[in-house]
Amino acid sequence: MRVSVVICAYDPDLYGHLRDAVESVLEQSYDDVEAVVVVDGSETLHRRVRDDYGDVEGVRIHRNETNLGLSRSRNAGIEESTGDVIAFLDDDAVARPDWVEKLVETYERRDAMAAGGRMAPQWVAGEPTFLPPEFYWLVGVTHRGFPEEECEVRNTFGSNISFKREVFEEIGGFESELGRHGDRQIQGEETELSARMHDAFGERVWYNPDAVVEHKVFDFRTDPKWLVTRAFWQGYSKRALDELIDDSGGEEGAFLSQLLFHGLPGYAYGAVVRKSSQAAKRGLFALVLTAAVGFGFLYAVASG
């Protein structure tokens, strides 16, 4: 089973991180793997990638003539790839050496159509003590409450998800109106694609927590203002997904139930009984972030 790993990038200033991502693919314990680097518009970045990897076996390079955004770039990577399975890794993430091997094991063990794994944090500026682990998803990290054993889920993070080629051949690629592009903040392209796969094949994404990708959480992502803004746009995106996907709120409902009946009471107990300032901060910020998500959803509804 050949595995292609698509990595999309657009910013020359982040080239060092892109190199880390590519090198992590080339150093996989699984042999039959290729890295597909998609440069989204930047000739400067394309030149650097070509100079370093143009002659490297196992690396394919594609450049979009203009900046097309993440979803279209991923679709270009799918077209460029040769694998039986196509996986996706962000340019600010690093795959652990056995990542692809663990994904392949899941495909073989479960006869899966799609598989993904756990996102672990690399806290570049240190772990923020005020951020509740239930909200780690805001910084691209698997959050508390997500399954801890191999099972079927709606989708995993876009930087640790993969699909068999036949999925794309049957239903097409990522929805181009979703995904990061310039100032556009509407996300959820993995969720939408996974929903279409389920409609076509009756299959969901198999989650293997041992297939680990580490996400670099830069200092700006731990700024409270950035996190609240991110939460707002996640709520906005949720409304957009509701328009595209029937019954898209199942996992969000489970998350909210976990937060209301386990997370918040735990923080309240820690703050009041144990006099923990960290628990108090996390509980308060959890309420703020929940409100921000709700406001984002309502804003999307009001905007039509």
What is the C-alpha separation between 26 and 46, in angstroms, rounded?
A: 19
Supply the pLDDT for residue 184: 60
Supply the pLDDT for residue 237: 84
What is the C-alpha separation between 70 and 92, in angstroms, rounded?
A: 14
Tokens representing residue 151 in the block: 């099972």
Domains and CATH numbers, the chain: 3-220 (3.90.550.10)
| pLDDT per residue rounded down to tens, the chain (304 residues) | 999 999 999 999 999 999 999 999 999 999 999 999 999 999 999 999 999 999 999 999 999 999 999 999 999 999 999 999 999 999 999 999 999 999 999 999 999 999 999 999 999 989 999 999 999 999 999 999 899 999 999 999 999 999 999 999 999 999 988 866 666 667 789 999 999 999 999 999 999 999 999 999 999 999 999 999 999 988 888 877 776 666 555 566 566 666 666 667 776 767 667 777 888 888 988 999 998 989 888 888 887 6
What is the C-alpha separation between 163 and 83, in angstroms, rounded?
A: 10
What is the C-alpha separation between 81 and 91, in angstroms, rounded?
A: 17
- Which residue shows structure tokens 């804003």? 299
In terms of DSSP bridges, do strands 33-40 and 161-164 run parallel, antiparallel, or are they unpaired?
Answer: unpaired
Supply the pLDDT for residue 259: 62
Supply the pLDDT for residue 130: 94
Supply the pLDDT for residue 274: 73
Tokens representing residue 12 in the block: 């020359």
Sign of CA pseudo-dihedral 259, 261, 262, 266: positive
